[in-house]
Structure 1
Amino acid sequence: MSSSTLTREQSAKAFDGHQYVYSHESSTVGCKMKFGVYVPEKAEKEQVPLLIFLSGLTCTEQNFITKSGVQSLASKYGFIVANPDTSPRGCKIEGDSEKWNFGESAGYYVDATESKWSKNYRMFSYINEEFYDLIVKNFNVNPKKIGILGHSMGGHGALISFFKRPGQYQSVSAFAPICNASASEWGINAYTNFFGQDETLWKQYDATELVASYNGPKPHAPVLVDQGSDDSFKDNQLFPERFIVACKTASFPLELREQAGYDHGYYFIMTFLEDHFKYHKNEFEHAQ
């Protein structure tokens, strides 16, 4: 491991492996970034699959690793699981910390084009280039078995990463993703700041829009998306039904499961997380 690029902030044994938190100076977003990574014992002996998990609004690198119980599953399935922060921090841009759904903890995994934000808010490039390469180079990852998943804003981030980088990820899944970001209140507010009034730029970071033009490798099994029926954001921010229609129109395979009685939180994620591990494992088994 390259000690010159990564600083270990936390380390704890969990099951047969270790949960770490590292920091590094990011050249992409221009500040120190933290991330969590669980490394199972199996990775000490051989290359193993990698899952990247993207978190939602208000989250840091801590939420997923402290609330989901992911460590037991990562150990059981022998996956490295890496989860970055959700935005740059400490950039001191006016307006970046006034609202819970925009700015710090809410970077939407996009590359901003407006000059105020474009230097630091480059989370799409950070996730899919710098962070991706950092994990692959510093940990014992099988480069042919890499999947991405996320929750809410992070589910949106996972889907757009899969669609915009065909072939980079062998698998993708999501929990309650923002499916149509350019048409949701959250997305409209963020995208107006990040991209200005040019709605063609908004649509370049919108899963419902992107699936129509996706021409990369299709998954072996339909992409797995779980959505709670009692999610208070479902009908006015997430718009899963629009994504279902878009996937059908594009003949893109999707299994969107509405889970009765579940809300938007981590108990929901915890309940169905193993199904997502099983899904990614199945996709990895078909990877060439």
Structure 2
Amino acid sequence: MPVTTRSDLFIPEVLADAVAGAWPDRIALLGTDAVVESSTLPGGAKYGDKVRIPYFNVLGELEIVGEGVPLTPVKLTMTTEVAEVQRAGRLFSATTWSQLAAMYADPYAKATEQLIEAAKRAFDRSLVEAAASTTGGGVQTVDASSGTINYDAIVDALAAFGENEDSVAAVVMHPKVLNDLRKAKSNDGMPLFLDPRDGGRPRVLGLPIIVSRRAPVISGTPNTYVTLFVRRGALALWYNGTPSIETDKDIAADELYAAVNVYFVAHRYSRLPGDTDPVVVRLVTR
């Protein structure tokens, strides 16, 4: 059976251009403000490399001075944290490509759609893992594992942010916890959960909810579930804007293979500029 070759159908440069042209913004954690994104990761960065993730410190509060009194000069400084580059990719053969071509008028467009969706899922998974990690700074755990999620547990989780509870951008919870939340009520008997309207997100105490089975489950008797309260800008996603398309040939099988690689960094900051409050709070419930 003849094998589709590069000259017959698959042109790596065309796929690379198609993917780069369709590469979207705001694809991590479903586009919430919890994530700061940049598509400028250096092209030479590879898996395992250590890179510095920067952020600017704040200038501080304004000075109150009298007439004719000079202001004190201050410098805008920048802090960096170290994170490790990850790799996500997909390997496929030219026979797979020929199947795509048979099913769709434009296999490049269809492959681009699938690759972007796969990248989105890989980014989201790594960002949730970074937010949930108990290693490193910036995270605090509120243990309410004696019961299911309730009004007091959510209040305690928000209180852990100190004066920055109004900076929470997203709440990531397991579907089981969402089901419990639908039944929960405030102390005056009002439901905590608000169903989404007009295609919006479900909310609790005004905060947008992201429902994901990636929210951590701690095995035990019974299992406990970790709900993540994430502040604006708590996470950084840094990725290369043009995924690489590489090809190779299996001479034994006389078959062409292509690999798509994306290199990225998913990082939780240990603190945000200007304060020492946690950037993520882990609420543990049954």
TM tier, smaller = under 0.3
Structure with higher RCO (Cα < 8 A, 6+ apart):
2
- Taking structure 2 as the reference length, what is the TM-score of the superposition? 0.23
- Taking structure 1 as the reference length, what is the TM-score of the superposition? 0.23
* Structure richer in strand, relative to its length: 2
